Each structure stands twice: as C-alpha cells, then as structure tokens.
Amino acid sequence: MTTGLPSLDRSTLHWRETPPAPIRVGGVLKADGFIAGIAHEPALEVEAPASPEHLIIITLSRRSGCEGEVDGRSWRPAFEIGTAIVLPAGTPSRWRHCEPGASPTCSSRRA
C-alpha cells in the first residue's frame, strides 16, 4: 500500500477487525521538505520503524483504549481531539488502537 506519507508507508500494519477497513488518506501536501496528510486509520496495530524525518501526529477524532510504545517506553495515551505527538527522527514506535470513539475495551483480536 502506498499512501504518499513515507512514515506510514514504511510501517507494518496488523488489522484488528475482519474484514479489515481500509486506511483512507487525503490531502497529501508536499512543500519545502515538509509532507502533510490526513489519514483515517481503522482499529489496527502499527509497528513503525525509526524514520529519517520527524513526525508530528495530531488527533482529529477521539480515540479510546490506545496503547503506545515509543523508543521502548510503553504508555496509554488519551487521544482527545487536538492531542499532538512529536516523534523525533530515528525513533521507532508501536501503536494499538480502536476505532475513533470506540470503548476503551475494544477487541484485542488480530487478523
């Protein structure tokens, strides 16, 4: 899958639902070494390798029951609308999350 967002394209995805819902990407903009886009990710697990560029993630919809591991440190972020995460270049991460607005106890099923 090619989305136009290099950090997402290099990631390994594990779907948390059957059949898997697609990742929808829109509005990819590129200028002066900066890439921005909007991605709707369904319930999934993401293993993102260290990226050569900095990555800024801004949440546009509430997500509950998320778990993250950034540079080997685990945490349970509360993704409210407007939450921002900055991942420095060279920082690997893993994410497990539910559908936007899902209950904190979404299924842990992996496809």
| Spatial distance between the Cα atoms of 60 and 40, rounded to a whole number of angstroms | 9
List pLDDT tens digits, range 23-74.
Answer: 778 777 888 777 788 877 777 888 989 888 888 888 888 877 788 899 889 9
> What is the rounded average pLDDT for all residues in the chain?
77
The CA distances from residue 3 to 10, 13, 109, in Å, are 10, 13, 25
pLDDT at 107 over 50: no
pLDDT value of position 99? 62
Is 73 within 8 Å of 38 (Cβ atoms)? no
Query: Which tens digit of pLDDT belongs to each residue from 68-101?
Result: 899 889 988 778 888 888 888 899 999 887 665 5
